[in-house]
C-alpha cells in the first residue's frame, strides 16, 4: 500500500508558524535594522564608495574577530573567494578536486576556473554534507600515492584538494575529514559560504581548512548586497590572498606596478559598510533563526512522512535555510508539496540539481552517489528569514 501524505495539513501547519498578515513569504529575505543607512550614507557623502575606504578594513577586522581566524579578506562574492582559495592551496590545471555532488554550482565553477576537474563525492544523511567515511573507502580503492601526492589511478590526475560545503549552514564532520586529508596529502578548503555563525565542536566553520570561503549574497544570514570573504589562520597566505584579489598592485603613491597575474576581486567600500552594520546584528539574527527552527520542529513533531532537519550533535548551526526531509517511501510527494506551498504563498524549493546531472559535468569522475541522489528527492527548503523569528525568542 502506498504511503499517504497529507499535503493540505502540512501547508496549514507551516502557515501556523508564518505571519498571517503576509500573502507571500519568501525563502530568505535580507533584514536591515541597524546602522546600514548611516554607514552607507557616509560612503556616499564622502565619495568613498569604491574598493578603497575604511569600511573594507573594518569589515575584514570584525569578520576575523567574529569567526576567530587570523585573517579575513573581503571580496566581490563567494565564488571569487573560493576560486582564490583553491589557487592559493596550489590547485593547478589538470588536477582533480573532490567536491560533494550535492552543492550549489559555485563550488564546481570555482574548481573549473582554476583549470582543475571537479570529482564528485557522496553526502551523508546526518550532516547533508560530504561523507568522510565513505570518501576514505573510495580513495583507498581508486587512488595511489605517487611522489607524495594522491593520484587517481583511473585518470592519472593528481587529487589536490577536497572542498566540503556546509549545507544550509550545517557543519560536516571536519575531524574525520582532516584525518583523511593528512593521510592522503590532500588540501582542505572549506566552502563555508552558507555557514557564517555555525560552529563545529565550538569552533567557527572556516577555521579547520587551510583556507575557506564565505558568501554575503542577498539571501545569506547577513548580506553586503553581493560579496564574500576568504578566511585563513595562515597569516602569510592571508596577505597573499589580499594581494592577489586586489590586482597584485605594488603599493606606491602614483605608479601602477603589479608583480603577478591577479584578480580584481575587491569588495567596494559601500558594500563593506553594509556588511559592518549587518555584522553588528549577527548574534541577534542567529537567535531569531534558531527560535524559528525550534517552532518549526515543535509544529511538525510527529507529522507523518516528513520532519525538520536538525543540526548534528557535534555542531551548532546557523540554520541558514531550514529544510524538511521526507521519510523513505514518501519521496513521490516532493513536487506536490512544492506546488501546493508555493501556490499558497509559501516559497519553498528543492535541493540543487546534483552536479553530475548537469550537462557540462556529466562525464566527470564520480563515486557512487546513492545518498546524494536520495537526499535530492527528499529535501525541501522552507522560509527562514530572520524576521520570521521575531515573535518566537
**What are the boundaries of each domain within the chain?**
7-31+282-389, 36-279
Partnered with residue 117 across adjacent β-strands are 96
Q: Which residues contact 96 (CB under 8 A, 6 or more apart)?
A: 116, 117, 118, 119, 152, 155, 157, 158, 159, 160, 365
Of the candidate CATH numbers 3.90.1150.10, 1.20.120.790, 3.30.40.10, 3.20.20.70, the domain formed by 7-31+282-389 belongs to 3.90.1150.10
36-279, what's its fold?
A: 3.40.640
Tens of each residue's pLDDT in the chain, 393 residues: 468 999 999 999 999 999 999 999 999 999 999 999 999 999 999 999 988 889 999 999 999 999 999 999 999 999 999 999 999 999 999 999 999 999 999 999 999 999 999 999 999 999 999 999 999 999 999 999 999 999 999 999 999 999 999 999 999 999 999 999 999 999 999 999 999 999 999 999 999 999 999 999 999 999 999 999 999 999 999 999 999 999 999 999 999 999 999 999 999 999 999 999 999 999 999 999 999 999 999 999 999 999 999 999 999 999 999 999 999 999 999 999 999 999 999 999 999 999 999 999 999 999 999 999 999 999 999 999 999 999 897
- Answer for the pair 192, 232: CB distance below 8 angstroms, yes or no: no
Q: Which residues contact 264 (CB under 8 A, 6 or more apart)?
A: 246, 247
Q: From the CB of residue 72, how many other CB atoms can be counted at a distance below 10 Å? A: 24
Q: From the CB of residue 370, how many other CB atoms can be counted at a distance below 10 Å? A: 11
Q: In what order do the strands lie in the sheet with 322-326?
A: 306-308, 322-326, 379-382, 349-350
Q: Which of 300, 324, 341 is nearest to 377 (CA)?
A: 324
Q: From the CB of residue 202, how many other CB atoms can be counted at a distance below 10 Å? A: 9
Q: Which of 373, 323, 372, 311 is nearest to 349 (CA)?
A: 323
Amino acid at each position: 500500500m502506498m504511503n499517504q501524505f497529507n499535503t493540505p495539513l502540512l501547508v496549514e501547519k507551516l502557515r501556523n508558524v508564518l505571519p498571517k498578515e503576509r500573502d507571500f513569504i519568501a525563502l530568505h529575505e535580507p533584514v536591515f535594522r541597524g546602522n546600514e543607512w548611516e554607514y552607507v550614507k557616509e560612503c556616499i557623502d564622502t565619495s568613498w564608495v569604491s574598493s578603497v575606504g575604511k569600511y573594507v578594513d573594518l569589515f575584514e577586522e570584525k569578520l576575523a574577530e567574529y569567526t576567530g581566524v587570523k585573517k579575513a579578506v573581503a571580496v566581490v562574492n563567494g565564488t571569487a573567494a573560493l576560486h582564490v582559495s583553491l589557487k592559493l592551496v596550489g590547485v593547478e590545471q589538470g588536477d582533480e578536486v573532490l567536491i560533494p555532488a550535492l552543492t550549489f554550482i559555485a563550488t564546481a565553477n570555482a574548481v573549473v576556473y582554476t583549470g582543475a576537474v571537479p570529482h564528485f563525492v557522496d553526502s551523508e544523511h546526518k550532516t547533508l554534507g560530504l561523507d568522510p567515511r565513505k570518501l576514505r573507502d573510495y580513495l583507498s580503492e581508486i587512488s595511489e600515492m605517487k611522489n607524495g601526492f594522491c593520484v587517481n589511478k583511473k585518470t592519472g590526475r593528481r587529487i589536490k584538494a577536497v572542498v566540503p560545503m556546509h549545507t544550509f549552514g550545517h557543519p560536516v564532520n571536519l575531524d574525520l575529514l582532516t584525518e583523511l586529508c593528512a593521510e592522503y596529502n590532500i588540501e582542505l578548503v572549506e566552502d563555508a559560504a552558507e555557514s557564517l555563525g555555525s560552529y563545529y565542536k565550538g569552533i567557527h566553520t572556516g577555521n579547520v581548512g587551510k583556507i575557506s570561503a564565505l558568501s554575503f549574497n542577498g539571501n545569506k544570514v547577513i548580506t553586503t548586497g553581493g560579496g564574500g570573504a576568504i578566511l585563513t589562520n595562515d597569516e602569510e597566505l592571508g596577505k597573499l590572498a589580499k594581494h592577489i584579489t586586489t590586482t597584485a598592485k605594488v603599493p606606491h603613491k602614483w605608479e601602477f606596478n603589479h608583480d603577478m597575474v591577479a584578480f580584481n576581486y575587491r569588495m567596494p567600500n559601500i558594500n563593506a559598510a553594509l556588511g559592518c552594520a549587518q555584522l553588528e546584528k549577527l548574534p541577534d539574527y542567529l537567535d531569531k533563526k534558531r527560535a524559528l527552527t525550534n517552532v518549526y520542529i515543535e509544529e511538525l513533531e510527529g507529522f507523518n512522512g516528513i520532519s525538520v532537519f536538525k543540526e548534528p550533535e557535534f555542531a551548532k548551526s546557523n540554520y541558514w535555510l531550514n529544510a524538511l526531509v521526507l521519510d523513505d517511501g514518501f519521496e513521490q510527494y516532493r513536487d506536490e508539496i512544492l506546488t501546493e506551498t508555493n501556490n499558497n504563498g509559501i516559497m519553498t524549493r528543492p535541493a540543487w540539481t546534483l552536479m553530475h546531472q548537469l550537462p557540462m559535468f556529466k562525464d566527470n569522475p564520480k563515486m557512487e552517489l546513492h545518498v546524494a541522489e536520495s537526499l535530492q528527492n527528499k529535501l525541501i527548503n522552507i522560509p527562514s528569514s530572520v524576521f520570521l523569528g521575531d515573535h518566537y525568542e
